[in-house]
Amino acid sequence: MAQKKTIRMMFLGDLVGEPGLALFEKWVPRLKEKHKIDAVVVNGENTGKNGKGITAEIVQRLKDAGCSVITSGNHIWANKKIYDFISQSDVLLRPANYPSVCPGKGFALVNLNDAYVGVICVQGRVFMHEDIECPFRTVDSLISMLKTKTNIIFVEFHAEATSEKHAMRHFLDGKVTGLFGTHTHVQTSDEMILPSGTAYMTDLGFAGAQHSALGIDQKIILNRFLSQMPAFFKVEKKGPMVLNGVWVEVDVETGNTLKIERINIVDNEIHNFF
């Protein structure tokens, strides 16, 4: 009996500033070797200065460290220099349900040893930009298109509300290989394989300082809550640091997930980034 052909994919939550980048560069090569990972997808929209945006230089750093696709969300336009770059990039994605006039695209097709993998990035509307296109209809349309090329399709849902992510979970079970949430920077412990073979996790988490406010200096965020005054964000650079995500093993023929395992690394060796 022939052995099933499988691939392994790793998905990491929002990288925050230089700490997130350093964690990625340190741990991804190790994790790829340990788990025999074929490709890595990461949310990179918070890697820029003060924890917002991304640059072409950062995209190259992530690629050099082993990243295949970089997703994003509501902070993708924080750095205006990325506009021209994203229009030409096959690696950096913006949410697919943004207006079509926006530069860039919301999906990618990756070739892994003759097995093609589709990656879709969409953004939620609840408590976010409610004037963007419906993420459910957008992702359904892209799935139909990508299904002509591959059975292996992953969706990253950059959304605030757990209810919206859970609704998408029921909507996509059996239609895609995996659905993973981002944006809240808080890893959930609900990794699972849904009844029809779709991998799911409500939020992948983040990469950054453990004792922070979602990667940002907690004193700044606390003062903002207490005073209701605007403030410039500053990335927390004191360790320990954490790196969150999941990896999955997929049946190439069916596109179903066979295994899912949560990644939650606490790095006590990286003390600071001053």
The CATH number linked to 225 is: 3.60.21.10
239 CB-near residues (< 8 Å, 6+ apart)? 209, 210, 267, 268, 269, 270, 271, 272
Q: What is the dihedral of CA 196, 198, 199, 203, to 10 degrees?
A: -110
- Say if 263 falls within a structural domain: yes
Total structural domains within the chain: 1
User: Residue 221 has what pLDDT?
Assistant: 92
What digits encode the pLDDT tens for the residues 184-210? 999 999 999 999 999 999 999 999 999
The verdict on whether omega for the bond into residue 230 sits within 30 degrees of 0, i.e. cis, is no
- Say if 273 falls within a structural domain: no
Q: Which of 35, 75, 158, 170 is catalytic?
A: 75
**8 A C-beta contact, residue 159 and residue 128:** yes
Q: pTM score, two decimals?
A: 0.96
- Say if 123 falls within a structural domain: yes
What digits encode the pLDDT tens for the residues 122-166? 999 999 977 899 999 999 999 999 999 999 999 999 999 999 999
C-alpha distances out from residue 71 to 59, 105, 121, 261, Å: 11, 10, 6, 20
- Say if 37 falls within a structural domain: yes
Pair of tokens at residue 183: 């944006």
- Say if 260 falls within a structural domain: yes
Tell me the residue range of the domain where 188 lies.
7-267
Is residue 75 annotated as a catalytic residue, yes or no? yes
Q: What's the CA gap between 66 and 140, in Å, rounded?
A: 29
Angle at CA 60, nearest 5°, toward 74 and 246?
60
